[in-house]
Amino acid sequence: MIIKNYKNKTVLKGMSLKEIEQWCQSQELSNFRAKQIYQWMYRHGVSEADNMKNLSKDLQKKIDESCVLETLKIEKIDESNTEPTQKILFKTIDNHFIEAVSMLEGNRHTICISSQIGCNVDCDFCATASMGLIRNLMTGEIIDQAIAIRRIVKTPITNVVFMGMGEPFLNYNQVLSAAHILHSHDGFDLGAKRITISTAGIVPKIEKLIEDGYKYKLAISLNATEDDTRQKIMPLNRNWPIKSIIKSASRFAARKGHNVMFEYVLLKGINDTAEDAVRLANLIQGIDSKVNVIPYNETDGKYQRPSTETIEQFLKILNKNKKGFRILVRWSKGEDINAACGQLAVTNI
């Protein structure tokens, strides 16, 4: 259940400008005050009303007494010993835990944020699946991950990816609300193409994203080239098989300037053969897309990363057979602190 009130206080953090305007109207305040509050919370990252300097003392007191401006507390920060990557453990106001990741590469600062506490999509190779699903995150809890990272890392955030804990499209409304705040000029002011929403393949929500006309980037975790294999590692394939995913991805990418990213996690002996590489190239030919090949980040030992030779051979064959798509290889960051792709899971607090 989404928490809208906490200890009889209104959770202001996460509200859109329109929602803050409605709150202001209920308090007999002008809409002008709503924009000020919006900017203080999101552009400036203020979490205490008395720091909203252009508000009256009475309004500051009203907000302090009746509203929640901060939904998360930092519980722990793990820093990689090999690269400028940090994993941040947050505690929610109802005493659950989520994780987010900050990754630096030159002037590029990418953050990976969570959309749910746990996940019930149950991808067999993903550590988050071991938690099950506790609940969806509020918009404020999603945004507060970004605000907290912005405070502790000096390099400005350049890119946001919804690839942390949870399936973003199973919390569609809250994720899109958070994306709008990240995109807003009065919020984080990030270009739409710097915000990526990742899905395991919830086809109806891909279709909804197309219909809604938003310009955010889309990443789809494909991870197999045959339904039998994909169904074993990603059970949701029973509902939305590869053919339906490719069809929706093609529709998404058919719009001008809207290419799609296919994520392909390489698992030893599962989806890493030469035949897989050829089938992958054939599946996505003609779609304006990129393929992000991700050598598996090991968790519990059930799956392994292919050998370097196998990875190189897969890439060589994929490159030889590619038709109109780009190939990227993501050697994930933060493996030494379990912050890499597929490793986020709250186990020991």
Q: The tokens of 18 are what?
A: 């329109």
Query: Which is more confident, 298 or 171?
Result: 171
* Spatial distance between the Cα atoms of 200 and 233, rounded to a whole number of angstroms: 11
Quick one: DSSP state of residue 153?
A: -
The CATH class given to the 9-68 domain equals mainly alpha
pTM of the predicted structure, to 2 decimals: 0.91
Average pLDDT over residues 112-116: 97
Q: Which residues pair with 325 in a beta bridge?
A: 289
Give 262-287 pLDDT, tens digit per residue.
999 999 999 999 999 999 999 999 99
For the ranges 69-78, 166-175, 292-301, the lowest mean pLDDT is seen at 292-301
CA–CA distance from 57 to each of 13, 27, 37, 38, 49 (Å)? 20, 15, 14, 17, 9
Q: Do domains 9-68 and 72-337 have the same CATH topology?
A: no
pLDDT recorded at residue 332: 56
pLDDT at 35 over 50: yes
SS3 assignment for 80-108? CCCCCEEEEEEEECCCCEEEEEEEEECCE
* Spatial distance between the Cα atoms of 340 and 114, rounded to a whole number of angstroms: 13
75 is an active site residue? no
Give 322-332 pLDDT, tens digit per residue.
988 999 997 75
pLDDT at 2 over 50: no
99 is an active site residue? yes
What band does 346 get if pLDDT is binned at 50, 70 and 90? low
Which segments of 121-272 are extended strands (E)? Answer: 133-136, 159-162, 195-199, 217-221, 260-266
For the ranges 109-113, 129-133, 146-150, 286-290, the lowest mean pLDDT is seen at 129-133
> Could you give the percent of the chain with pLDDT greater than 70?
92
What backbone phi and psi angles, to 5 degrees, belong to 204? -60, -30
Residues 6+ apart with CB under 8 A from 164: 98, 99, 100, 101, 112, 113, 114, 115, 145, 344
> Which CATH fold would you assign to the domain 72-337?
TIM Barrel (3.20.20)
Quick one: DSSP state of residue 138?
A: P
pLDDT at 163 over 70: yes
C-beta of residue 243 within 8 angstroms of C-beta of residue 234: no
Q: The tokens of 279 are what?
A: 């089938």
C-beta of residue 219 within 8 angstroms of C-beta of residue 197: yes
Average pLDDT over residues 42-65: 95
Q: Assign 160 to helix, strand or coil.
A: strand
Mean pLDDT computed over every residue of the chain: 91
Query: Which is more confident, 103 or 343?
Result: 103
pLDDT recorded at residue 5: 56
Q: Which of 21, 67, 70, 99 is catalytic?
A: 99
What band does 336 get if pLDDT is binned at 50, 70 and 90? low
Average pLDDT over residues 238-258: 95
pLDDT at 313 over 80: yes
Instruction: Break the chain into its structural domains and give their ranges.
Output: 9-68, 72-337
What band does 349 get if pLDDT is binned at 50, 70 and 90? very low
pLDDT recorded at residue 328: 92
CA–CA distance from 156 to each of 185, 327, 330 (Å)? 15, 27, 22
Average pLDDT over residues 46-61: 95
What band does 335 get if pLDDT is binned at 50, 70 and 90? low
Give 175-195 pLDDT, tens digit per residue.
999 999 999 999 999 999 999
